[in-house]
Every structure is written in structure tokens, then in C-alpha cells.
Amino acid sequence: MLIDARTLVNGHTVEADICIVGAGAVGIAMALEFNGSNKKVAVMESGGLDLDSRTQSLYEGDHVGRPTYPLGRNRLRYFGGTTGHWAGHCRPFDQFDFSVRDWIPHSGWPIKIEELEPYLERSQPILGLGDYDYSSLEQYAKQLKLETLPLDSGRLISVMKQQSPPTRFGTAYRQALKESKNVSVYLYSNVLELITNESASHITRAEVACIDGPKYEVKAKNFVLATGGMENPRIMLLSNKSAPDGLGNSHGLVGRFYTDHILIRPALDISLSRKGFDFRLYSKIHRMNGGRMFGILTASDELTRREKLTRFRFHLYNITPSYDAPVGGVFSSIDGAREAQPLTKEGGTYMAVHMAMEPIPNPDTFVRLSAKRDLFGQRQLEVNWQVTDAERSNAHRAIELCALEFARMGFGRAYAPMLEKPDEWPANFTSGKHHCGTTRMSDSPKTGVVDRNCKVFDVDNLYVTGSSVFPTIGHTNPTINLVALSLRLADHLKGKMA
Ligand SMILES: Cc1cc2nc3c(=O)[nH]c(=O)nc-3n(C[C@H](O)[C@H](O)[C@H](O)COP(=O)(O)OP(=O)(O)OC[C@H]3O[C@@H](n4cnc5c(N)ncnc54)[C@H](O)[C@@H]3O)c2cc1C
């Protein structure tokens, strides 16, 4: 059922078994898991079916660290959430992403890939993806009569990403939720605060308000925050009546470890002198078993371990250069350059290589409440995104390795500002719009906000899900992984309530 909450009376009480806050990728995927069950589910969604500027303004906030995308514009606050403009690139985390890497502080998940795998597979159709098969790039290349790059697998490898149509959750699942008998989506419903018992160990109700409309409450046995990587911690910090520092924040971790991919687009321009190689496996999207896919480059586990790097990936795009890229000379001091073909700018086809890199978890990057208020009088967020010298060295080495590989394969020469000025970040580096880490998962409340089942430590009926619980983020995009984690949480709640 879809309910316009502006039609409710002031002081109304909604009662449910589960209250899910937010109807984006996570909230909708979870709601669908309960559709048709004997559980009464209330989904609180801030927006309506279309974007409106006043609701969207509730996302506004400030950057107090390195500025990236405006907070009020990169996330979308309406039914379907940010999937209203996501790009749809998908690839699951792998075993390596979950492991403790002794060269990366705060790395390691409390769960293993095996615990997520069945849910990753179940996430594929929800996201409009093909078979759950990310290992067959070679096989698809053969079917397409294309080749993978002849990479030195001790350095870089080719792997597959899948491409969602991209599924817009707000339109794709609207009808199913409209027809649901046991799931009610309350539109225009902003959860302002979660109210607890005196010891802040149990949520008793959520306070909800509509813009220019009624204020009402939700009472539920279990509450799930599914409002995205920035808003999850905001609601927890705003819920401070019984816990002055915010819910689940006894160790000051809510909002800390804010993490996002570091993007350099392009990281390299390669002027291709070697003719005859068809890059379309990488630069175009291809139909495959029931879905669509393309190839990317990443570091082998062996190289990542040997060189103590974080994870990174490269996307290859064929382009015509839009500026006067200086070619040549870049490799002059790099071993392997001799193998690169000489080229003239006139002769070459250019390829832009975009890099996304995993950052190092850092407690000093954070989101927190600011002094500014939104139109409900609630404190806005400020974001302190920082990048470190260690990350800059990591990015430099990743780009160098990519350049060396293209040189070794004899494809041409690369221009990369970071190779010329390793002590500086290039002007075109930014963040990935993947807001992660702010309520990280751990086995101990001293090092995390939620446990392995996404339950907030010390609060017996509050769960948080989405990218905010990721302790580390690998090189890949978050959405398939956060949908899978949410399906896992749905199963956990079914077990708990059975
Ligand atoms: C431009 C762009 C491109 C992207 N491309 C990709 C990609 O290619 N691949 C990929 O994996 N990921 C991509 N992402 C990230 C992807 O969009 C997110 O991972 C995904 O949407 C997160 O889902 P979510 O449900 O956690 O949050 P959202 O989708 O943001 O949903 C949160 C929901 O909570 C609601 N809400 C917020 N606060 C409240 C409140 N107080 N009360 C009630 N409701 C509330 C919002 O209205 C919204 O509906 C991209 C993101 C952007 C911005």
C-alpha cells in the first residue's frame, strides 16, 4: 500500500512489526522481502513519488574538509532514493575485501564473503542483472570474438562488471508495493528522531513529520535505518534524548570513518600506437546471459599484497582528446618505457583510463551535526572528507603500474599528471558518491557501531543497513553489496521474529 501521510491526523500512531526508514535501494529491497508475509511492515519515506525541492533541501549540508559534490544534490530524497540517478555498475566484493590486511589499519570485516554470497546471487534479479557469474570474462570475450588484454597477471588482471539497466527502484517496484497487503509505504514521512527507553537500549517509537502536514509516530518491534551512508548516522546523532551523544555512540564512532572511493577521471590518457587491438570488451557494454557486462582492469591479489596497496580499478574509454595532452616523455625515467612504441599525436587513437581507488579507513574523516538547521529545525550535516599522503602514494603507484603495463604491452604512451607530479593530487580527483563507513560493522562496540547482523550495539531493536556499515569498501561499487547485506538482514529479522 502507498499512503500519502499528509492525509493522516496529527498525533496518529502507526503500529508495525518492522519499521524501515527510507525507501531507496535498501529500504525497497527489504520491504519486498517481507511482501506477502504475516509481518506488518511500515516503510517511512521522506519524499513522494516525484522529487520536490523542499524535501530535497532536507539533504543540504556543508563540506568542512575537501569539497566534493554538494550534499543536497548527489543523494536523492524521494521514493526510490538515489537509484533515481545511479549509473548501475555492479560487481560484488570478493574474499580479499573482507580480509584483515595487516598493512591497512582498521581493515577486515567480521563476516566472510561466504555469508554474503547467497544474498549477492539473490540481488542479481532485483538489480536487473544477468547470471550470478563474474568469473567468465574470457568466455564472454570468446563469444563476442573479442580479446582480453595480454596483461601480466602478476600486476593487473581483467575482470567483469555487470551493468544494471539501471534499475530505478522507485518505478520498478512501485506497483508491487502499491498492491502489497502487509507492507505500507508512508510517503512524505520524515523520521526526525528515534525515541528510546531511559537507558537508550530499546527504541519505543519513531517521531515522524510531514512538511506542512501532521506529526505522527510509529511504534514497531524492530526498526531498520535504510537512509543511506550519510543520513543513517545523522538520524542516530539526532536521536539524543536518552543518549546525549546519540544512539549507539558510546564510543564516539557514529559518523566517523566516513569513506568514499577516490576517483581520478581520467587518471591516464593513453595515445595508442599499436593498431589492431579491439578494446570494445572494455569500452562498450555487451549483452550476456540475461544481462549486460563489460571488462575493467584491477590489481591481482598477489600484487596488492606484495606492494601493500589498497584496491583499485581502471575503466577504459575510447575518446578523442578534448585538450592538448602532452604525449611522450612521461616514461623517460620508468623502467619498461623502452618497450613502448614511439608515436605521433596525429597517428594515435586516445583512450581515457579512469581510476577508482579504495581509501584507507580513517577515523578523522567523518560526518557530524552542524549548527545549521533544516526546515524542521533539525541540525544539518557537515562532512569532513580528507585524503592522506599514504593514499596519494597508493594512487601514484596504481597509475604507474597501469602506465607500465600499457608500455610493456606496447600499446602506446601515457600521459598522467600524477606521474609528472607525484607529490600532488591531480586537479581532476574527486570522490565516488559512495558514502560508506559511518556506522561500521565490527565484532566489538569499541571498533564499530553495528554487529555482524547489522544490529546497533547496546540497542536491542535497532538495525542499520546500507553502505554505512561497510568497514572497508574495496574498489567496486557499493549497491549490489548493500542490497545483498539488506536481504541478509531481512532473513535475520525473519528468524528473530519467527
Ligand atoms: C550519481 C550517482 C551514481 C551512482 N552510480 C552507482 C553505480 O554505478 N553503482 C553503484 O553500485 N552505486 C552507484 N551509486 C550509489 C547508489 O546510488 C547507492 O549505493 C544506493 O542508492 C544506496 O541505496 P540506499 O537505499 O542505501 O540509499 P538511497 O538510495 O539514497 O535511499 C535512501 C532513502 O532514504 C530516504 N530518507 C532519507 N532520510 C530520511 C528520513 N529522515 N526519513 C525517511 N526517509 C528518509 C530518502 O528519501 C531515500 O529514499 C551512485 C550514486 C550517485 C549519486
Q: Is the pLDDT of residue 328 over 90?
A: no
CA 393, CA 403: separation in Å to the nearest integer?
A: 15
Name the least confident of 11-15, 133-137, 412-416: 412-416
Closest ligand 1 atom to residue 465 Cα is 26
Q: Is the pLDDT of residue 351 over 60?
A: yes
Counted domains in the chain? 1
CA 5, CA 150: separation in Å to the nearest integer?
A: 58
Q: Give the structural domain span for 180.
A: 2-497
Closest of 100, 40, 10 to residue 443, by C-alpha: 100
CA–centroid distance, 329 to ligand 1, in Å, is 43
Confidence of residue 271 (pLDDT cuts 50, 70, 90): confident
Q: What is the mean pLDDT of residues 120-134?
A: 97
| CA-proximal residue: ligand 1, atom 26 (nearest) | 228
CA–centroid distance, 275 to ligand 1, in Å, is 42
- What pLDDT does 323 receive? 37
Q: Ligand 1 in contact with 50 (CB < 6 A)?
A: no
Which has more pLDDT, 272 or 194? 194
Q: Ligand 1 in contact with 418 (CB < 6 A)?
A: no
Q: What is the mean pLDDT of residues 459-483?
A: 98
Residues in CB range of 440: below 8 A, 6 or more apart: 253, 257, 361, 447, 448, 449, 450, 468, 469, 470, 471
Closest of 379, 372, 383, 375 to residue 53, by C-alpha: 375
Element (H, E) at 394: helix 389-408
CA–centroid distance, 284 to ligand 1, in Å, is 26
Q: 17 near 33, Cβ under 8 Å? A: no
Q: Ligand 1 in contact with 475 (CB < 6 A)?
A: no
* Number of neighbours of residue 475 by Cβ within 10 angstroms: 24
pLDDT digits (tens, 9 = 90+) for 145-160: 999 999 999 999 999 9
Closest ligand 1 atom to residue 76 Cα is 30
Q: Is the pLDDT of residue 358 over 60?
A: yes
Q: Is the pLDDT of residue 346 over 60?
A: no
CA dihedral 112, 117, 122, 123 (to 10 degrees): 60
Confidence of residue 319 (pLDDT cuts 50, 70, 90): low
Q: Ligand 1 in contact with 468 (CB < 6 A)?
A: no
Confidence of residue 415 (pLDDT cuts 50, 70, 90): confident
Q: What is the mean pLDDT of residues 183-210?
A: 98
Name the least confident of 114-118, 277-281, 368-372, 439-443: 277-281
CATH no. for residue 143?
Answer: 3.50.50.60
Backbone φ and ψ of 484, nearest 5°: -60, -45
- What pLDDT does 341 receive? 34
- What pLDDT does 414 receive? 86
CA 99, CA 407: separation in Å to the nearest integer?
A: 32
CA 156, CA 207: separation in Å to the nearest integer?
A: 51
Q: Is the pLDDT of residue 354 over 60?
A: yes
Confidence of residue 274 (pLDDT cuts 50, 70, 90): confident
- What pLDDT does 338 receive? 31
CA 43, CA 89: separation in Å to the nearest integer?
A: 26
CA–centroid distance, 132 to ligand 1, in Å, is 23
The type of residue at 59 is Y
Closest ligand 1 atom to residue 77 Cα is 47
Cell 517509537 belongs to which residue? 205
Residue 455: strand, helix, or coil: strand
Q: Ligand 1 in contact with 433 (CB < 6 A)?
A: yes
Q: What is the DSSP string of 222-260?
A: EEEE-S-TTHHHHHHHH--SSSTT-TT-TTS-TTBS-B-
Closest ligand 1 atom to residue 89 Cα is 8
- What pLDDT does 322 receive? 38
Q: Is the pLDDT of residue 61 over 90?
A: yes
